[in-house]
Amino acid sequence: MGLIRLDSICKYYSMGDQTVKALDHINLSIAKNEYVAFIGSSGSGKSTMMNILGCLDKPTEGDYFLNEKEVAKLNQNQLADIRNQEIGFIFQSFNLLPRASALHNVMLPLVYKGIGLADRKKQAVEALEKVNLADRMDHIPSQLSGGQRQRVAIARALVTKPSILLADEPTGNLDTQTTQDIMALFDELHNEGQTIIMVTHEDDVARHCQRVIRLSDGKVVEDYYNENKEALHV
């Protein structure tokens, strides 16, 4: 079994007398250490897919297995535990606490894991060093550039040592050069063994990924490996 397996996943929404099929019988597997981009236009289902994979929402139908746990039928408290244990989230808007330093932003997820203060600080410093922000850990977000804020967000996602990194349009608010820098960091993390799943509408970003899954109207219409990443697929 892969790290992730989706069996006939559907997500339906009612809008008046119509039913919108945001995801329509999705079947796919993602292995450990894969680097996957979900790509598609607005309304394709990619944001719904991110919410399902991130245990932020539950499918209407189908089975979702993460690390061999069947998560589609868990209650909200159990889903929260899975998110805390297995998943590191990275968002387009960074979602940092504005009055907290970079260090304290990165320490925060460890509070929910019951880790003591000294160990929280040690692990957060290590995560910030990993994203080359050791010299900015005392700065608050308003004192950091967009790229630096995204690096803090990546460090915060990494600090819990998650099974997967879920990145939702992580370069959407960044300029071209900063986007290249952030994608180089994702490439490095993947080469170190991190499983990364990214939602994007940008082909240039998807080209960094090992595997590209294109969605349209809630269905998988393409699923292929980028040629320059083919050798990385196991």
The overall longest dimension of the chain from CA atoms, in Å, is: 56
C-beta separation of 64 from 6 below 8 A: yes
Domain boundaries, the chain: 33-57+76-232
> Would you say residue 228 has pLDDT above 80?
no
**Cβ neighbours for 55, distance < 8 A, ≥ 6 positions apart:** 66, 71, 74, 79, 82, 83, 87
Distance CA 198, CA 82 (A): 19
pLDDT tens, position by position, 109-123: 998 888 999 999 999
Fold for the domain defined by 33-57+76-232: Rossmann fold (3.40.50)
Closest CA to 213 of 7, 18, 27, 3: 27
String of b and e for 209-228 (b: at least 16 CB within 10 Å)?
bbbbbbbeebebeeeeebee
**Which of helix, strand or coil describes residue 176?**
helix
Distance CA 186, CA 182 (A): 6
pTM over 0.75: yes
C-beta separation of 201 from 42 below 8 A: yes
Output Rg (C-alpha) for the chain, integer angstroms.
Answer: 18
Q: What is the pLDDT of residue 230?
A: 46
Q: Which two tokens stand for residue 97?
A: 């606490």
> Would you say residue 92 has pLDDT above 90?
no
pLDDT tens, position by position, 195-212: 999 999 888 899 999 999
Distance CA 69, CA 53 (A): 13
Q: What is the pLDDT of residue 227?
A: 73
C-alpha distance from residue 22 to each of 49, 121, 168 (Å): 9, 41, 17
Mean pLDDT in residue range 187-193 = 93
Closest CA to 226 of 194, 200, 193, 204: 204
Mean pLDDT in residue range 127-151 = 95
Q: What is the pLDDT of residue 231?
A: 39
